[in-house]
Chains A and B, each alone.
Chain A
């Protein structure tokens, strides 16, 4: 009775084939069928941001996408932004700055912050606030999250600076 559609897409770098019901949201499909439970569902009307994932590199609400709409696309979840073991630099700064308490909004924020830093490697605090304004957090009051993203950007700039200096020296 419930028709299924063929879906082929890339999840965190791996090709996926599945049969999905038309009305399944991407968020539910990721969580229930693919067991990627890092993406959380907080409101199902596109406001809270807990379900944020990357679709072809851009941050979007997985609760406002149908699973079938991922056809042919690349989807990245928080699991895909985490190293094999341990924490990425962004995640490590979140921890250092105490940018999470209950952790429910955190995956959505990691994805959003990642996308921001890809596009704007050295954002101002105002740009950071703006970029995460679509992710609700009820625990932290946001300030440590902004600190963490800013620190990550600084850390990456420092790395780049060091790499450049090194290559100068080689000449």
Chain B
């Protein structure tokens, strides 16, 4: 990726690789992350968590802890009072999930190792941990439910869900049974994508402070601060405008930071109880245990096709292990897995049975490309199996089956209970595949499929994907002219490292004709805008950026009207150019200085909203080239290429960074990362020595190419999301590549992660087969 050689100081700013405004403070170590937030006289909280996966909570003995020097309080369910607030589903609302919501603190039952049972508040974290060590929860163990596929016949976790299956529905389009009856070729397999999740470098944290007048400030918000504020205020019995959630610098999210967790209630509650600011920052052991897990989906999949490899239909049955409780992100993993199982292909007939089951494990939420990464693995593996069976070329078969541009917009039907009928809006899916093939040199690599070179088997594999982005219903922006060279932009969107302080400035800079560096962006806090939604589902630029454009237009209109009034000219003949209103001859009629001098709020500030009820679809292809050591079974990823169409590239540095970063996360998820449990429900991957994250030496060759063949027609920027696509086809591409590499062993990878041991077993068992 060529980096910018020249500073970008002149318009246009959109499309240019502007280095980021947020970088200077972060590079100097002057960022403000939540653990850097300090109040005078601040106390520290430690959450005491269940060490038993499933049990009846008889009592919590806090006497010894309370007697310790420096301990201010030890909170249990009794202090929270009755009824204990439960955490509702915010999105992905599937009927049934309301029956297994999580209480903010365990009252009579514990259902996963890591569930909060008490909160210790003390003078410092060290003392709080000493006290936490002597808080004794008396738990009578119950049989834990650990296997998702057997969960329905085991002991119920929740009285309202006797079969541990709160969600069970079917979805379809076309006539799949008929398609299968008539098909010349069918195949059925069972697949599994394992439990893994975002594991950002910064753990979660909150600082809660009650002002003397009873106003509550909470620091450490992210993702959906407005929803969380409303929920928290309701739980505390307060008016929404008496609570503010503040976003500071955050160390990554990828979906799991910022959702409402038990601590989001417990910490403000503690602060009110002890009458001091309270800080809570989870340590890594806790974070691995208590921050949302994700993926963990089983899929039985059947494919029907002609002998020439034209896919006629899919039938699937999904089981999503959501852990011990429903979460704010509801059934998104399962529902989106079902929705995206057909992917970017023209598959007329499709049926999917979807089940969400409960187990005594950490509850699951959404992690980058939720449901999509899984769906792509299931379907792309199946396509390659079909190709092997029918002796067809995997690339040619995909090209023949991908939705064509002439078919756009492509109706995918109504596959998700909480969404209506959807259509892939625009895209050239075959072009993305062809570009990816060119970038990696696919034809040359395909000629070496399965060959042993220098002791390693080589393989190349493909994963195509399509994804939705830009969840509505709206987003808000507020612009304030503080000085002619200082424009403040407030957005309801949240930032966890995606660079909105720069990319949003670029959008506003072009909209108003001012330099990008004159714009200061404030994000995520509920103090920014009257109402917002946040950042998730690739909606940052789509919704937030569009809101910036809409609001800029409002301001420009106000300025034109003022200039028209002052100069007695028709407003329609005036233009905004370079931050000033000019007439059709180019004469300057109103400048930013004039606006500032006017003192007129209508000229100085505007708040605008962009609304969009439907989503837009980005898409792409990932291709992996691997070499598998014949003796040690170690898989080396020689190259991973992603081609993605995100509609409109606002800042190529940022877009490229997102895709490369997402790709490496996808590789980590495919080859290294795993949350493992034993039969008693103990989580075994409790340290960074067990949960393995990619390092700089693991995947040295990852590349991303952005194409903009299909801007979105659904927002003024033409943008589509780009934050998630890079993970989504990786499992598929790598698994396919490894299978091609090991074709002489007949290896068939049906489960992730791909570990040296699992590859070794696949090589050994396959070569012993018939």
Contacts and interface: CB of A to CB of B under 8 A. Distances in A.
Given A98-B656, A144-B1, A50 B23 contact: no
A101 B19 CA distance: 11
B389 interface: no
Contact of B695 (A91, A103, A106, A133): A133
A79 B249 contact: no
Given A102-B200, A141-B660, A91 B28 contact: yes
Classify the secondary structure of B's interface with A.
loop
A57 B18 CA distance: 34
A129 B696 contact: yes
Contact of A87 (B28, B203, B653, B663): B28
A39 B31 CA distance: 10
A32 to B, nearest CB: 8
A94 B27 CA distance: 8
Given A87-B27, A140-B657, A141-B660, A103 B251 contact: yes
Contacts of B300: none
A26 interface: no
Given A43-B284, A136-B695, A82 B27 contact: yes
Given A42-B201, A129-B700, A143-B702, A86 B660 contact: no
Contacts of A40: 33, 35, 201-202, 251
Interface stretch (B150-158, B209-217, B493-501, B758-766): B493-501
B166 to A, nearest CB: 31
Interface in A113-156: 125, 128-130, 132-147, 151
B661 interface: yes
A38 B33 CA distance: 10
A65 interface: no
A157 to B, nearest CB: 18
A137 B201 contact: yes
B654 interface: yes
Interface stretch (B337-345, B408-416, B517-525, B686-694): B686-694
A96 B700 contact: no
A86 B29 contact: no
A106 to B, nearest CB: 6
Interface string B669-701: 000000000000000000111000111110110
Contacts of B696: 128-130, 132-133, 135, 137, 142, 145-146
A17 interface: no
Contacts of A96: 3-4, 19
Contacts of B203: 42
B202 A110 contact: no
Contact of B202 (A42, A77, A130): A42
Contacts of B69: 1
B664 interface: yes
Given A96-B19, A102-B200, A41 B35 contact: yes
B192 interface: no
Contact of B29 (A107, A134, A138): A107
A101 B497 contact: yes
Which residue of B69, B199, B497, B694 has the most chain A CB atoms within 10 A of its CB atom? B497
B19 A103 contact: no
A9 interface: no
A58 interface: no
Contacts of A36: 29
Contacts of B654: 98
Interface in B15-56: 17, 19-20, 22-24, 26-33, 35-36
Which residue of B202, B251, B689, B696 has the most chain A CB atoms within 10 A of its CB atom? B696
Nearest to B124: A32
B252 interface: yes
A12 B702 CA distance: 37
A82 B29 contact: yes
A97 B203 CA distance: 26
Interface in A41-58: 41-45, 47-48, 50
Which residue of A96, A128, A147 has the most chain B CB atoms within 10 A of its CB atom? A96
Contact of A79 (B23, B28, B254, B687): B28
A77 B695 contact: no
Interface string A67-105: 000000000011100100011000100111110111111
A21 to B, nearest CB: 8
A11 to B, nearest CB: 13
Nearest to A46: B688
Given A132-B696, A138-B252, A138-B254, A102 B497 contact: yes
A106 B27 CA distance: 6
Contact of B499 (A1, A101, A107, A125): A101
Interface in B240-256: 249-252, 254
A78 B28 contact: yes
A118 B700 CA distance: 24
A68 to B, nearest CB: 14
Nearest to A83: B28
A107 B202 CA distance: 13
A162 interface: no
B283 interface: yes
Contacts of A39: 29
Contacts of A133: 695-697
B712 interface: no
B698 to A, nearest CB: 9
Nearest to A106: B26
A128 B660 CA distance: 18
Which residue of B201, B653, B660, B699 has the most chain A CB atoms within 10 A of its CB atom? B201
A31 interface: yes
B29 A78 contact: yes
Given A82-B27, A86-B24, A48 B35 contact: no
Nearest to B663: A141
Contacts of A98: 3, 17, 19-20, 653-654, 656-657
A95 B202 contact: no
A4 interface: no
Contacts of B3: 96-98, 147, 151
B665 interface: yes
Given A43-B284, A45-B687, A138-B693, A101 B201 contact: no
Given A98-B654, A100-B23, A140 B661 contact: yes
A102 B657 contact: no
12 contacts: A37-B36, A38-B30, A40-B35, A96-B19, A98-B657, A101-B499, A103-B23, A105-B201, A138-B200, A138-B661, A139-B201, A141-B699
By Cβ-Cβ distance, the 6 closest A-B pairs, closest first, are A38-B29, A102-B497, A103-B26, A104-B251, A141-B664, A78-B29
Given A101-B658, A133-B697, A144-B660, 9 more contacts: A45-B688, A100-B26, A102-B201, A103-B31, A104-B497, A130-B696, A133-B695, A133-B696, A142-B696
